[in-house]
Amino acid sequence: MLGLGDSGHLDRAERLDLCLSGEAVQPGDADLTPLLMAASALTPKRPVSQSARARALAAMFREADRVTRTPAAAPPAEDTADPGIHVRVASAGHNMRLRVADIEDVSEERLTQIAENLAARLGQRAPDRNQ
């Protein structure tokens, strides 16, 4: 691989470096005009603070960690097939079903009372507070 000195562009690179550093200004140099335009296009429009750089770096690491991390297992659902849990299903109004699970036996009266209470609660209308 050729370096700048081997390719014959060393003088051009030194002139470009002087122009970019502000030590020399040669606006009439047609050889450097495209390079200066490319350099100005790549220059940030406003300075970037160190804290912004640190936040961006932290965000990149968080995203890389999120992408490479294996998905965590979902918490296990309750096992309602356990013989110690009693599950009953009742209707609680129009198109609503109530599922009650308890460690104690759920009697028919208790299930009916819970379903009625829930249906009454869901059927209540909130008072109009816009008056």
Per-residue model confidence as pLDDT tens digits over 90-102: 776 677 777 888 8
Q: What is the mean pLDDT of the chain?
A: 75
- Beta strand 86-91 pairing with 97-102: antiparallel
| CA–CA–CA angle 69, 73, 79 (5° rounding) | 175
Contact 87, 70 (CB under 8 A): no
Q: Tell me, what's the pLDDT at 1?
A: 43
Q: Tell me, what's the pLDDT at 131?
A: 52
Contact 97, 90 (CB under 8 A): yes
Q: How confident is the model at residue 8 (pLDDT cuts 50, 70, 90)?
A: low
- Which single residue is written with the structure tokens 């009693």? 86
Longest C-alpha distance within the chain, in Å? 97
